[in-house]
């Protein structure tokens, strides 16, 4: 087994990891980026639709175009990319990271670490929907990869379960490629994805969206033959008598993303609501040499945000590796009224930062308050599926423990 010393090791080569590696290498430290797939870019590789890059690059790009820009930036740095390389474990005491690749097992001795491992899709099996166990049930991301990378179709008649963004985008994609897209069912009374996707992917293509509906049973032997769909009540329980059978051979699910933190969750302080590490404005976790960025911290709405986080993590991980003393945490945020996903959890007060909040409920309009003092009003409908992003510097209402709330305005 080979051992190697490295200043900054980045785990995961999606948008966050690429940005982190670029920024870290630009600070003049030895940086290695590990990617477990054949090539970097993560899910951007298969996101051939547009809508990426508006914030960061001020232009509307496809996923692969966004990625090309990152690769170009990366190629100008000294960062080393190791693909087909998977981290097996992290030893928090010795700062050793064990990695498997075709060259064997390598142990990296790191100065600082950036975890940008992204999220995985929740599978239909994870939901415990009763019925047969058949082929033909896929997550939206798997079908996206099948269609866009492998050039293959999953079947003929398809129902989409869940109206997350990837589900909406795949409804459109499969319809364009000639599949009969029967519709999209969403258990909640509101769509789970961005409104622009509901309009551009469903309405523009005459694909029905059934809100407050769920799949109650899977039918078939071998391959999927159909599903039972029912309307649900206010408690999300199926309403008896509303069941109908839909003859489909393919089910595509978009029922949520789960941040992947299996490598660090046993020794880094975790936030059960974000399902990611507790983080500060430097993207530093509770372990001072471990930084995190991207969808493993919390599921984000836009790749641009993930990219920005990667840059921050890259910068401070590099400074830490250079031996600089980084500022300590001064203000801690506490979730108050209506605050769901929230990051960062605490800040140094030394730099401007962005805060992301998901409201727990749909609100007609709202105000965000810190310690009871209004910071900003949002004069439009707020949904849990769309993050509020706040640009903050030091705010005079901050204190050691700062209460954050999102209140509905009349």
Interface ranges with another protein (CB under 8 A): 1, 36, 84, 86, 88, 98, 100-105, 120-121, 123, 125-128, 130-136, 138-139, 141-142, 145-147, 150-156, 177, 216-218, 221-223
Query: Which 3-state string (H, E, C) describes 351-383?
Result: CCEEEEEEECCCECCEEEEECCEEEEEECCCEC
In the complex, least distance from residue 335 CB atom to another protein, rounded to whole angstroms: 20
**Cα→Cα distances 303→44, 70, 295, 306, Å:** 9, 12, 9, 5
Confirm if 175 and 140 have CB atoms less than 8 A apart. no
Backbone angles phi, psi at 126, to 5 degrees: -65, -20
- Smallest distance, another protein to C-beta of residue 254, A: 12
Contact 124, 22 (CB under 8 A): no
- Using the structure block, give the residue that is written with the tokens 């051979």: 249
Closest contact distance (angstroms) between CB of 172 and another protein is: 14
- The Cα–Cα gap between 380 and 50 comes to 25
Q: How far out from the chain centre does Cα 361 lie?
A: 20
Q: Which is nearer to another protein, 149 or 377 (CB)?
A: 149
Nearer Cβ to another protein (271/281): 271
Give least dist CB 330 to another protein, A. Answer: 33
CB of 267 to another protein, least distance (A): 15
In this complex, which beta carbon is closest to another protein, that of residue 80 or of residue 135? 135
Least distance CB 86 / another protein (angstroms) = 4
Q: Which is nearer to another protein, 217 or 408 (CB)?
A: 217
Closer to another protein by Cβ: residue 334 or 360? 360
Tell me the three state secondary structure of residue 231: strand
Q: Are 301 and 386 in contact (CB under 8 A)?
A: yes
Contact status, residue 392 vs residue 343, Cβ threshold 8 Å: no
């Amino acid at each position: 087994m080979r051992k190697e010393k490295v200043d900054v090791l980045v785990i995961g080569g999606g948008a966050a990891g690429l940005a982190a590696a670029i920024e870290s290498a630009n600070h003049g430290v030895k940086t290695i980026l590990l990617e477990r797939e054949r090539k970097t870019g993560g899910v951007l590789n298969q996101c051939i639709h547009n809508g990426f890059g508006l914030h960061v690059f001020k232009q509307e790009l496809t996923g692969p175009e966004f990625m090309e820009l990152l690769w170009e930036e990366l190629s100008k740095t000294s960062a080393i990319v190791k693909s087909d390389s998977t981290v097996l474990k992290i030893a928090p005491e010795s700062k050793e990271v064990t990695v498997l690749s075709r060259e064997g097992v390598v142990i990296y001795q790191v100065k600082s670490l950036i975890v940008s491992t992204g999220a995985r899709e929740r599978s239909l099996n994870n939901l415990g929907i009763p019925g047969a166990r058949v082929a033909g049930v896929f997550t939206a991301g798997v079908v996206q990869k099948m269609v866009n990378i492998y050039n293959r179709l999953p079947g003929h008649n398809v129902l989409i379960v869940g109206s997350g963004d990837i589900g909406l985008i795949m409804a459109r994609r499969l319809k364009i490629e000639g599949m009969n897209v029967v519709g999209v069912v969403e258990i909640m009374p509101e769509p789970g994805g961005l409104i622009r996707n509901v309009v551009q992917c469903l309405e523009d293509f005459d694909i029905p969206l059934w809100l407050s509906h769920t799949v109650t049973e899977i039918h078939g032997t071998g391959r999927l033959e159909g599903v039972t769909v029912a309307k649900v009540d206010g408690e999300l329980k199926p309403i008896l008598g509303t069941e109908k059978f839909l003859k489909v051979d393919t089910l595509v699910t978009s029922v949520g993303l789960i941040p992947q933190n299996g490598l660090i969750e046993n020794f880094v302080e975790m936030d059960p609501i974000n399902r990611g590490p507790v983080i500060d404005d430097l993207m530093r976790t509770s372990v001072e040499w471990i930084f995190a960025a991207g969808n493993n911290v919390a599921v984000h709405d836009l790749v641009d945000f993930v990219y920005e986080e990667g840059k921050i993590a890259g910068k401070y991980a590099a400074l830490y590796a250079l031996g600089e003393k980084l500022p300590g945490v001064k203000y801690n945020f506490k979730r108050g009224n209506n605050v769901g996903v929230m990051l960062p959890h605490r800040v140094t007060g030394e730099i401007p930062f962005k805060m992301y909040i998901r409201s727990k409920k749909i609100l007609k309009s709202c105000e965000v308050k810190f310690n009871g003092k209004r910071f900003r009003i949002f004069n439009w409908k707020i949904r849990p599926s769309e993050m509020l992003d706040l640009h903050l510097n030091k705010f005079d209402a901050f204190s050691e423990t700062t209460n954050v709330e999102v209140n509905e305005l009349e």
